[in-house]
Chain A
């Protein structure tokens, strides 16, 4: 299958790959997907006192589109407030990456990961 330039760019040069300390109260972790489905996304955010996301990291096991989706959202989220990040929709992700219909679920996974990370952060406060 042919991949869009945007997917290839994120796939070849993924942004913000890494891991933060899950126990840190400032850090929210969202892990979604399942190995059995062929995709697991771990997205982490670090939130400052003002409720602004100062850093974001990801690791993804999944297809190129799933990797690109998670890489893209880490870029987008930095500097956003939690509310703004919570507004990110999978449609925006799939549009930015020009995902074909069979790959929409990869962007849905990224949206789910954002929500899970925010929820995790909030539950720690």
Chain B
């Protein structure tokens, strides 16, 4: 069976073969399998050295001190540790948190949990480009605000938050600032020496490292305190207990080192592929790129094909591995909460497809995707009563629909 063409790099990436090789060297008896916390023999020392080397590689990509990196199981855990850790440590100072409606569930559900514990959370609405602006954050600030948590790059629409400017506001107000950088690390330059971000979440599997490992950056100056969420042997300076997974961590370090080396050239190539895709479909009528076109990460193209329903479009695009913002089959019968937060009409939100392009995508892949998308959209529009009505000049908002 021919495998579908992978255009879902925002969901996850394959491990870079160079990374996989290094990981394999940390598993077997002949390899570096020791427990990095073993202080009494060479096996432990070697494993510790590998882990500390990886810590430096991660820190280097974001211009941080290695001592500011805490290993976790992924960005979900990092988000939990950052948000709950800050809320629980600083709750006497205040109980108000600011985040946005377009955050990843790892942030939103964590905030919901804190609401159940008595915290108050403000969920900012993005503008129609999907952006949270510094002014919105400024306006939401209160006396009792202790934390602002925003994502650097949105996983669905790829737009980039101006975290440098927001950091100035939070620092001036002495409010902590957490950024989920799962989708931006290795794609956008991050300088934590310059930016006033206090906590930052990372994941390895979005940048050609393995799944199941991530990190949380915790600033030392000015010092950020956290209440641990995982208790045990006191690893990671007490912030996250649990034996470190040497092979995973080595993989994450190597992936970050490669990203640092190749990011610039890779981004240029990927942007040109994304523009090739957009140029290949944008001349069809009623096709929209969702989210800011300019303030956008290189690999993401979230496109709505109006009057075509997303799930049927995915069915026609069986030879492409892409994802849909539509979720009619899920219990909710609702399109993506991110697209809705942009104020998009439900029809448009239901008709969106996220293409995400990455390291192993070629120009031929994009050309093939364009051909299949054009064919599918044309076919489904011929089947669509909404397309008919649009062509007849009927205003769909004026129609009395029978919701069911």
Contacts and interface: CB of A to CB of B under 8 A. Distances in A.
A34 B326 contact: no
A37 B329 contact: no
B351 to A, nearest CB: 9
A97 interface: no
Interface string A31-59: 11111111111100000000000000001
Contacts of B347: 35-36
Given A59-B384, A61-B385, A36 B312 contact: no
B326 A38 contact: yes
B177 interface: no
Find the residue from B345, B385, B401 having the highest chain A CB count within 10 A: B385
Given A33-B404, A38-B335, A67-B383, A59 B388 contact: yes
Interface in B300-358: 307-312, 315, 326, 328-329, 333, 335, 345-347, 350
A9 to B, nearest CB: 13
Contacts of B345: 35
Contact of A37 (B310, B311, B333, B383): B333
B382 interface: yes
Contacts of B164: none
Contacts of A11: 312, 315
Interface in B20-50: none
Find the residue from A19, A31, A35 having the highest chain B CB count within 10 A: A35
Contacts of B404: 32-34, 37, 105, 108-109, 112
B346 A36 contact: yes
A17 interface: yes
Contacts of A35: 345-347, 350, 386, 396, 401
Interface of B: 307-312, 315, 326, 328-329, 333, 335, 345-347, 350, 382-388, 396, 401-404
19 contacts: A1-B329, A17-B383, A19-B388, A31-B402, A33-B403, A35-B345, A35-B346, A36-B401, A36-B403, A38-B326, A40-B385, A61-B307, A61-B387, A63-B309, A63-B315, A63-B328, A64-B312, A108-B404, A116-B402
**Smallest CB-CB A-B distances: 4 pairs:** A34-B401, A36-B346, A38-B328, A42-B385
Given A33-B403, A37-B328, 12 more contacts: A36-B347, A37-B333, A37-B404, A38-B311, A40-B385, A40-B386, A41-B385, A42-B385, A60-B384, A61-B384, A61-B387, A103-B329
